Amino acid sequence: MRRFFVVLSIVGAVIALAAPAAFADSPHFVRGSGNLNADGTLAVSFKEAGLGTNQLINYLASADGTAVYVCVNNGGGNPSAQNKTTVNGPVTAAGTFSSGKNGQVTAQLTLSPPSAGGFSCPPGQKLEVASVSYANVTIADTSNGVSEALGDFSSGCLLPNVRGACD
């Protein structure tokens, strides 16, 4: 009989220790999407659930960005092929959001085109983004190690009224 109570006590202890795991939070993305804006930025919107109440969660949106920059003169044109450059590189946006009382985060982060770097325009011309693309767009909850791939996004020509900008 004593042996029975020892076994029963051990089983009870195992169940008691396992019970919190059964009610543990389970972070997961409910949805994620990207929307290209007219200025070439990409709004990455997402909803994540299973986070627990009032937790601060760190997020990182990332992509491989490509942008074509052009110089636009006062006449509304891109005067020469030398006044264009294509740049590539990783782009990221980070933010921290609270899960609130419902254990969810619905938020948005905005990716910007890669920097033009040292490319500049001659006096009297303005630097503009002619087109941009974002490949391998991902939203990640870096606090819990959860991520969601969102795909690729491409703007097409952002300057259709600028002669020579998208040729």
Residue 57 belongs to some domain of the structure: yes
- How sure is the predictor about 13, in pLDDT bands with cuts at 50, 70 and 90? very low
Radius of gyration of the chain (CA): 25
Domain that holds residue 112: 25-154
Per-residue pLDDT tens digits for 123-151? 999 999 999 999 999 999 999 999 999 99
Residue 4 belongs to some domain of the structure: no
CATH number, domain containing residue 115: 2.60.40
Domain count, the chain: 1
Per-residue pLDDT tens digits for 61-90? 999 999 999 999 988 888 877 789 999 999
Give the residue from 96, 91, 97 showing the smallest Cα distance to 137: 91
Cβ-based burial of 90 (10 A; exposed 0-12, middle 13-18, buried ≥19)? exposed
Q: What are phi and psi of 59, to 5 degrees?
A: -125, 150
Residue 5 belongs to some domain of the structure: no
Residue 6 belongs to some domain of the structure: no
Cβ-based burial of 78 (10 A; exposed 0-12, middle 13-18, buried ≥19)? buried
Residue 18 belongs to some domain of the structure: no
Residue 122 belongs to some domain of the structure: yes
